[in-house]
């Protein structure tokens, strides 16, 4: 039994005998200490099986005894094998998780991982990541990358590339006396092509999650803007590799110069893959037209659930594209939208209010942290809860909800019995408002699973009217606040 890591250190420490008890007279006279698992260290000589296992561990490249010895001896060998055995020798044969954990921290001592349950996959993914991030593209041998990908593919479910090296830039042509050519350095066409990912990606058939960053880390004084650019050819190569990934669920490109033209190429290819569940384009530059393409993707795709587009430089036109897709009952079972860190105007808030009060079931989570909502725009975002019954979570942290927006928020929450969480950190609301919000949310949590009457869902004024007549007071009007109704005589 491998006590040092089968029984955790915290457990052993919690159940160990305290120093005070050890010094007591009954404990001090004990000759057998059952809880001391290292009692025989430096006392008795090691058995012959240990020396045999030690010799076998030094010759793994020539002898593989794992299929011919007992499990207790295999356990001993796993602790003796060096962590630098070539992958082609150890990957097919060794399954012990502790060996792979030790190999991971030996090769990547600066990395700290939490909650890992499959160390073999984690280590092999890190090896492939290290190769693809640091290989020189100018001497890149595609055959070697494919061999490595084939070797590790049965065990890899996640791949993260935090940098990609850029190929050497073209030089001006040699001038000829009898020919007129433009040899200016600034006239040479720039090729921002990175390492082609098509071949290795095509072999990772178990891959479920991929994260990419097009850039170079630790450039220090050697910074050049072109290190953080990438071309349409990069996107096309990436998409050709993605065609073979039938289990891909999460696709991320973060902190990259991903503009509207490139995101269109990517979305045109991903829309064919029904397995995609999450798109993450945080901290890119997809802009308004990229947002329109993303809205079309949400409208057509049948499985995407989470879309994260924080900090992407879009404005009213981009918000309108997403809002239109949500109002048209899209095919996607969209659950979460993250618009954080995108400064939004009153018109953006108006479009949001018009869209989300029409949405009945999706999405369930809307995140608009630090979007600059204040005054009338903050009122609109708070007031959309008065009619929306699809949202269960609304995050509005780091926006200014002081003043009238507080009152609108309270009125909306009094009518809404579906929302369960509202993030109001750093919103400048009073302690009384926060206390009232907490009480209303606690009421909603206690009602989970209970059916509500129609009068609890729609204001009494409109119970006898078709649902669409609720919009006689057009939400696109900048003066309209959801939940604040004009004077009117109800029908009898």
pLDDT in tens, 98-113: 899 999 999 999 998 8
How crowded is the C-beta side of 458, counted as CA atoms within 13 Å? 14
| Lowest-confidence segment of 30-39, 215-224, 335-344, 476-485 by average pLDDT | 476-485
CA dist list (Å): 326 to 295, 356, 367, 426: 8, 8, 15, 29
Pick the more confident residue, 88 or 193.
88
Q: Tell whether the torsion through CA atoms of 61, 66, 69 and 72 is positive or negative.
A: positive
Q: What's the confidence (pLDDT) of residue 195?
A: 86
Q: Is the pLDDT of residue 368 over 70?
A: yes
Q: What is the mean pLDDT of residues 347-361?
A: 84
* Domain residue ranges of the chain, discontinuous segments joined by +: 3-87, 343-492
Q: Give pTM, 2 decimals.
A: 0.83
Do the beta carbons of residue 381 and residue 368 sit within 8 Å? yes
Do the beta carbons of residue 103 and residue 79 sit within 8 Å? no
- Residue environment code for 250-279, b if the CB has 16+ CB neighbours within 10 A, otherwise e: bbbbbebebbbebbbbbbebbbebeebbbb
Do the beta carbons of residue 362 and residue 326 sit within 8 Å? yes
Listed residue (224, 212, 128) closest to 168, CA to CA: 224
Q: What's the confidence (pLDDT) of residue 463?
A: 40
Q: Is the pLDDT of residue 468 over 60?
A: no
CATH classification code of 343-492: 3.80.10
Mean pLDDT of the chain: 84
Q: What is the mean pLDDT of residues 118-127?
A: 95
Determine how many CB atoms are found less than 10 A away from the CB of residue 147: 15
Q: Is the pLDDT of residue 486 over 70?
A: no
Q: pLDDT tens for residues 126-153?
A: 999 999 999 988 888 889 999 999 999 9
Beta-bridge partners for 401: none
CA dist list (Å): 18 to 13, 31, 33, 431: 9, 17, 13, 47
* Alpha carbons 477 and 45: distance in angstroms, whole number: 87
Pull the structure tokens for residue 309: 């587009």
| Lowest-confidence segment of 83-87, 174-178, 239-243 by average pLDDT | 174-178
How crowded is the C-beta side of 73, counted as CA atoms within 13 Å? 18
Share of the chain above pLDDT 70, in %: 84
**Environment class of residue 300 by beta-carbon count within 10 Å: exposed (0-12), middle (13-18) or buried (19+)?**
middle
Do the beta carbons of residue 254 and residue 213 sit within 8 Å? yes
Q: What's the confidence (pLDDT) of residue 470?
A: 41
Q: Is the pLDDT of residue 32 over 90?
A: no
Q: pLDDT tens for residues 157-196?
A: 999 999 998 887 666 556 666 665 555 655 555 555 888 8
Q: What is the mean pLDDT of residues 394-414?
A: 92
Task: For residue 440, name the pLDDT band (cuts at 50, 70, 90).
Answer: very high
Q: What's the confidence (pLDDT) of residue 66?
A: 85
Q: What's the confidence (pLDDT) of residue 180?
A: 59
């Amino acid at each position: 039994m491998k006590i040092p890591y089968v029984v955790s250190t915290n457990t052993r420490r919690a159940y160990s005998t305290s120093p005070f008890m050890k010094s007591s007279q009954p404990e001090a006279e004990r000759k057998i200490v059952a809880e001391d698992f290292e009692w025989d260290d430096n006392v008795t000589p090691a058995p012959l099986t240990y020396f045999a296992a030690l010799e076998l561990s030094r010759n793994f490249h020539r002898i593989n005894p794992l299929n011919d010895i007992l499990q207790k001896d295999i356990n001993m060998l796993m602790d003796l094998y060096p962590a630098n055995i070539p992958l082609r020798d150890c990957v097919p044969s060794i399954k012990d998780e502790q060996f792979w954990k030790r190999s991971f921290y030996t090769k990547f001592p600066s990395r700290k991982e939490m909650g890992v349950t499959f160390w073999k996959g984690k280590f092999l993914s890190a090896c492939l990541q290290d190769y693809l991030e640091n290989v020189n593209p100018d001497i890149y041998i595609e055959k070697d990358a494919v061999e490595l990908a084939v070797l590790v593919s049965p065990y890899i479910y996640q791949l993260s590339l935090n940098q990609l090296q850029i190929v050497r830039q073209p030089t001006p042509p040699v001038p000829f006396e009898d020919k007129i050519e433009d040899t200016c350095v600034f006239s040479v066409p720039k090729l921002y092509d990175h390492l082609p990912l098509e071949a290795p990606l095509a072999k990772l058939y178990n891959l479920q999650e991929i994260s990419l960053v097009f850039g170079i880390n630790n450039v220090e004084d050697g910074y050049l803007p072109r290190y953080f650019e990438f071309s349409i050819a990069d996107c096309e190569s990436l998409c050709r590799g993605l065609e073979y990934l039938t289990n891909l669920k999460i696709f991320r490109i973060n902190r990259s110069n991903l503009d509207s033209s490139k995101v269109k190429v990517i979305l045109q290819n991903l829309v064919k893959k029904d397995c995609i569940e999450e798109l993450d384009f945080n901290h890119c530059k997809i802009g308004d037209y990229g947002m329109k393409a993303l809205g079309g993707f949400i409208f057509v795709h049948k499985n995407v659930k989470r879309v994260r587009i924080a900090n992407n430089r879009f404005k009213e036109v981009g918000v309108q594209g997403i809002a239109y897709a949500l109002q048209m009952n899209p095919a996607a079972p969209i659950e979460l939208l993250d618009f954080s860190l995108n400064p939004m105007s009153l018109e953006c808030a108006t479009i949001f209010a018009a869209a989300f009060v029409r949405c009945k079931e999706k999405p369930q989570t809307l995140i608009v942290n630090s979007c600059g909502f204040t005054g009338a725009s903050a009122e609109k975002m708070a007031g959309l809860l008065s009619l929306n019954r699809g949202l269960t979570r609304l995050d509005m942290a780091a926006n200014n909800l002081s003043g009238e927006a507080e009152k609108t928020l309270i009125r909306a929450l009094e009518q809404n019995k579906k929302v369960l969480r509202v993030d109001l950190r750093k919103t400048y609301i009073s302690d009384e408002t926060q206390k009232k919000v907490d009480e209303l949310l606690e009421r909603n949590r206690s009602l989970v699973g209970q059916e509500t009457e129609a009068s609890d869902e729609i204001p009494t004024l409109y119970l006898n009217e078709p649902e669409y007549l609720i919009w006689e007071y057009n939400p696109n009007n900048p003066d309209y606040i959801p939940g604040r109704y004009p004077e009117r005589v109800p029908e009898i």
